[in-house]
Structure 1
């Protein structure tokens, strides 16, 4: 019988047959012993489900693999992840998992050690680590950008310091930030990080413990220079609706937790969610704290404030 804290890995799949074997192998190779893997497929039309079933049938490790019923429903992301969280039994910790990344063997072990050391474990606690970008042909692209050791609400307003697949969180975060409220359409990583920044603890681990695969049809300007990244930001954020959507999502978060937010948190959120005025544009343009990790992203968002896009 395990005496170590339990960890549920939450794997959402969709047409990932080309990559999922390598990911499942990396999950089963985790050095941490008390792991269960809960998988929800979102209606794959390739061999993803049959591969998962083969792994379940041939699993000789101590780690349990469970394929949840999907009821023939395609939920998309992030709803498929939220559904797994609703259906899986309680655990001490939970880890989001994408179908096409690769985890290093001590990823979960290190996360549990860090989470177990927080001074207030009864509060929502979210851990994340660094990672590396590779192409699907094995070419190294870059490291994930370094993140602050201490992450506050300001750091997660218009920036997400961690992708879902490097996030591990406790049962309190699951209850208070997911099950007891409706996250709506917001991505699971952003929602958890904002919630933990306001009401709990965020652990930022610089150790790189996973490989994120950029597929050949998905490699973007984000994987190259700051100048290319700035051009990409300006094209997508000025020309598209991404940033107006982000502003709406911030307002939704503020409304959901309006009775729990402190006065200073309410003030910060209101500055970035209220209807634009000339004064607010100036206040946001000269906001004294940095809002994004990379210089190109920071320049882009200041331009958006200047022109009144958000």
Structure 2
């Protein structure tokens, strides 16, 4: 039986410290053929030299694009633009984790069990670890509610470095990448939003990667306590860091995909955006009746609060 061909898209930036462990874990993936496509996002350390060495030893499996600094969102979307649509599946990868050897075949098997003519996306829990790969905890846990557009519009529960998508999802997402990336919160969130709206998202509660937590993480799951997490969130809110990010992304998503959305989806997204301009009494009423939701009860309450405050 032919092995599935999987395109791994890895973006690097000053990642020399952990890149060996990451790439080695990709090269030993079981029961799939992997092509590792790496885009360096303008590193100033020894990352590029290390990547060139890997290409010498694995010229048929590893390809490196040496690019200018675009930031994490721009770098991953540029990787998607540069990939040929010739693979069976497409996976996203960070520079500092370690993948279990059966990560890809597990994702591929689950994706193959669904109908293949719609956008499909696999994501999983992660085993969070410290710099030395000592286990911390599993995150995120299995979401209690559906992984639908009504969640994805207001929350991302899919960790980018666990995502694997089918060719339909790859080609459709690639065709709908916004020209203005300031309207996108994160590349993985955008992909989750797209696939949940037009296809199916599969969440695997078995952690398939060791997700390293360290000082240089650009983004990532947090091992901090409940109080610290909410203090940080409050600080970001007060400083205005996360104001309007949900509504900006929703507007862009609506603009690019209005012709493909169902009548109900279209109506619901438009209501979400339009009710923000209503008097506060109407905003309160809408906030507590809206179909959009976060998984945790407290997070859901916060969503309603920031909606009423017009900061969503």
Aligned pairs for 1:70-109 (under 5 A) are: 70=67, 73-90=68-85, 91-109=87-105
Between the two proteins, the alignment pairs up a number of residues equal to: 304
**For structure 2, which runs of at least 5 residues remain unmatched after alignment?**
none
- Give the Cα separation in 2 of the matches to 1:216 and 1:84: 25
The answer for the alignment partner of 1:24 in structure 2 is: 23
Q: 1:262 to 1:25 in 2, by over 3 A?
A: same
Cα displacement string for residues 64-114 of structure 1 (whole angstroms, at most 9, x for unaligned residues): 1111242xx221121111111111222111001111111111000001101
Of the candidates 113, 121, 127, which is equivalent to residue 122 of structure 2?
127
- The answer on whether the counterparts of 1:128 and 1:168 sit within 8 Å (CA) in structure 2 is yes
Of the candidates 281, 284, 297, which is equivalent to residue 282 of structure 1?
284
Q: 1:213 to 1:82 in 2, by over 3 A?
A: same
The answer for the alignment partner of 1:230 in structure 2 is: 230
CA positional deviation for 1:168: 0.3
The answer for the alignment partner of 1:169 in structure 2 is: 165
Of the candidates 289, 292, 295, which is equivalent to residue 294 of structure 2?
292
Cα displacement string for residues 173-211 of structure 1 (whole angstroms, at most 9, x for unaligned residues): 121121355364222211111111111111111111012
What TM-score do you get using the length of structure 2 for normalisation? 0.89
Cα displacement string for residues 250-275 of structure 1 (whole angstroms, at most 9, x for unaligned residues): 11101110111112112221233223
Q: 1:75 to 1:51 in 2, by over 3 A?
A: same
CA positional deviation for 1:53: 1.6
- Give the Cα separation in 2 of the matches to 1:159 and 1:176: 21
Q: 1:262 to 1:283 in 2, by over 3 A?
A: farther
The answer for the alignment partner of 1:209 in structure 2 is: 208
Q: Is residue 189 from structure 1 mapped to residue 191 from structure 2 by the alignment?
A: no
What TM-score do you get using the length of structure 1 for normalisation? 0.89
Q: 1:147 to 1:171 in 2, by over 3 A?
A: same
Cα displacement string for residues 107-151 of structure 1 (whole angstroms, at most 9, x for unaligned residues): 0000110111112x1111111111122221444332113233741
CA positional deviation for 1:225: 3.1
- Give the Cα separation in 1 of the matches to 2:128 and 2:74: 25
Cα displacement string for residues 52-72 of structure 1 (whole angstroms, at most 9, x for unaligned residues): 122222239xx71111242xx
Range 42-51 or range 9-18, more displaced: 42-51
- Give the Cα separation in 2 of the matches to 1:284 and 1:161: 24
The answer for the alignment partner of 2:51 in structure 1 is: 52
Cα displacement string for residues 282-310 of structure 1 (whole angstroms, at most 9, x for unaligned residues): 13431366722344433432321233322
Q: 1:238 to 1:303 in 2, by over 3 A?
A: farther
The answer for the alignment partner of 1:273 in structure 2 is: 273
CA positional deviation for 1:16: 0.3
Cα displacement string for residues 195-246 of structure 1 (whole angstroms, at most 9, x for unaligned residues): 1111111111111101211113659994233333222222212432313122
Q: Is residue 157 from structure 1 mapped to residue 153 from structure 2 by the alignment?
A: yes
Q: 1:161 to 1:143 in 2, by over 3 A?
A: same
**For structure 1, which runs of at least 5 residues remain unmatched after alignment?**
none
Aligned pairs for 1:252-263 (under 5 A) are: 252-263=252-263
Cα displacement string for residues 29-58 of structure 1 (whole angstroms, at most 9, x for unaligned residues): 211331100011111111111111222222
- Give the Cα separation in 1 of the matches to 2:211 and 2:235: 24
Q: CA RMSD in A?
A: 2.4
